A and B are shown apart, each in its own frame.
Chain A
């Protein structure tokens, strides 16, 4: 195919920045079969593939790419499903540059194989054609596992254990399954019908999902055992929003990113008034923070019709934690960056509505314990950013709702659950945990990796005893 060579990868077609910045359609459009075959042809089929080592769930990457190169797309998705039950999600949201693609040998002299794009292609092709058989289940064991939380780690545990012959029920507090995949990551990065499709694939294999059950309130962990479950996996995520604790934070117009994104994504408030949940629409929107959640919030605000959207971040561009591709997309869509700026208070009018944020300029000092250069306030540098909506995206902590109702579950600092990093075992008998509730806010694929390890450990426990 024209434009392809061994050194550079085949770029995925995308919506034009000016167009996409105002709609909620997915930004990358996906490979055609011809493009996928061409890109798959670049893979060297290494005997000792480093890319697989970079994948937290160990997908046989050269294996599935070979099938795509041969045009056998149904075999490709089957190969991926052996290790990953959410490929349409992972192909879209994994930070491949620091995982599989970061290890690809081709990346040393040119560009790595576009593994994420190919995984996404295989999953999308299967969703459109439905030809591949679901993986086969082992003989029923009669053992019952409760999975608390239907985010990426919970779905992975459920997918693994159902294939091993156990009965699996997922309990979800929200009215829809998917966790951060449905409430956090926006439609334009991860269409919600794709999440629904991957979840229904698990249900087709026999996984039961009960929504509207808040474990910690509707049922406690101990009550799950009374209901006859033999093991419990806790994958409840890190859903506690952090605020800056500066004056004016409760003004109307200051929202956590969790609230803003939940309204927009889970409640589909971008369709208001066709749906009933409203969302504040600012003219000048300021997003505090510079991680992926901040980029998602800012790009959502742009799509909701803001005239100007600014990212306010206390460090410099080099320290921004968001994926470079997301920052690049945000820039193309016209976002404004106020770097080396730190908010000190919110300003409001007599109706309690936000009118601006007072910030100070920062400069970078010596590296801190995280290895990043510590921002230091420049005295006398106060300035005001006028705005009518502020979204706080400075991270999240451990929600104590479940852990407070489980007093014998050992917790670490900041309320995260203590679990063995290799097995996911907690200090409470027959209870495992993984994902953000153990590690703090991390990535989808790391949560899935934790789920995989826990599922192996739960299976051993159910088979052989502890």
Chain B
């Protein structure tokens, strides 16, 4: 059992932070790696990339948006409650090259995954420009932490309720036009990562994305998470989750992420209905 020692609600309660006791994992984990979590006996195994680790306290932190049955079950766990299973650290750590001029682009809960990478790069002596965005002011997360992890921070909202009105890609385009960018890191919804990668390709700037395919075991034994990268099949869980954005077949990833839409909807509806019945 893996006890929750700290819990925060962000973005108006739609995004949840869980700091979980897992000393073994905390001692090992590095930026870019992920966990598989399972709430209870009948739960499914869900991958989440770590937002933070604290080896001294022996804790790992995940931040997730409530989108379906499993994240709904996670949301209902309070401080002192426990996940039945937490497995990790899984996947390859982020490759950080010191001293580079990096632009980190994050959208939605992707900012949670982006944060340790941006911080790791800044600590390695990189010049880190971060561009983070959300639909509106309420949904923006980790602004303060991202400010600390960046040399320069830009904020965008789709509706202009905070920061600049518009998409993160607009600010990115200005940075690319200005030149001198060695690398771009983009983490967020798949369409956002796709557009960023299409844009940076024009400027010939290497771009790293963190993918979120459907996973079951997370250890390379089923291939459920396979993605096409540079025309070759890769397993997201062992070869990734980070890949060269210019090589990834994003359209295939989007289709594969929809494989269980109908069952996911059914499961979530049933879960909400049960909660309503119990209340």
Please judge, given known A-B contacts A258-B221, A259-B216, A278-B263, whether A217 and B252 are in contact too, CB under 8 Å: no
B267 close to chain A: CB less than 8 A: yes
- In chain A, positions 354-379 with a C-beta closer than 8 Å to chain B are none
List of A residues within 8 angstroms of B42 by Cβ: 268, 274-276
Interface status of B161 (Cβ within 8 A of chain A)? no
Given contacts A217-B90, A278-B267, contact A252 B259 (CB under 8 A): yes
Q: Which residues of chain B from 253 to 270 have any CB-CB distance to chain A below 8 Å in the complex?
A: 255-256, 258-260, 263-264, 266-267, 270
Binding site for B on A (CB under 8 A): 173-175, 211-214, 217-219, 239-241, 243, 245, 249-250, 252-253, 255-256, 258-259, 262-263, 267-268, 272-278, 280, 351-353, 399-401
Chain A residues contacting B88 (CB-CB under 8 Å) are 214, 217-218
- Decide: B216 and A250 in contact? CB cutoff 8 A: no
Q: Let me know if A278 and B264 touch, CB within 8 A.
A: yes
- Residues on B with C-beta less than 8 A from A219 are 24, 28
- Beta-carbon contact of A401 and B238 below 8 Å: yes
Residue with the highest number of chain A CB atoms closer than 10 Å, among B70, B89, B220: B220
What are 29 residue pairs bridging A and B, where the CB atoms are less than 8 Å apart in the complex?
Answer: A173-B87, A173-B217, A175-B87, A212-B86, A213-B24, A214-B87, A217-B28, A217-B88, A217-B90, A219-B28, A240-B220, A241-B221, A241-B223, A243-B223, A243-B233, A250-B227, A252-B255, A253-B259, A258-B221, A262-B221, A267-B45, A268-B42, A275-B44, A277-B216, A353-B255, A399-B220, A400-B220, A400-B238, A401-B219
**A-B contact count, CB below 8 Å?**
116
Q: Are B258 and A252 in contact (CB under 8 A)?
A: yes
- Interface assignment of B25: CB less than 8 Å from any CB of chain A: yes
Task: Give A175 Cβ to nearest chain B Cβ, in Å.
Answer: 4
Q: B160 in the interface, Cβ–Cβ < 8 Å?
A: no
Q: Bound complex: CA of A255 vs CA of B227, how far in Å?
A: 13
Query: Would B219 and A250 count as touching, CB distance under 8 A?
Result: no
| CB-defined contacts of B43 to chain A, threshold 8 Å | 275-276
Nearest chain B CB to A60's CB is how many angstroms away?
Answer: 36
Is the pair B216, A241 in contact by a Cβ cutoff of 8 Å? no
* Given A252-B255, A262-B216, A273:B221 Cβ within 8 A: no
Question: Do A214 and B219 contact each other (CB < 8 Å), given the known contacts A243-B233, A276-B70, A278-B260?
Answer: yes
Interface residues of B in 208-233 (CB under 8 A from A): 216-217, 219-224, 226-228, 233
Q: How far is B218's CA from A401's CA once the two chains are assembled, in angstroms?
A: 11
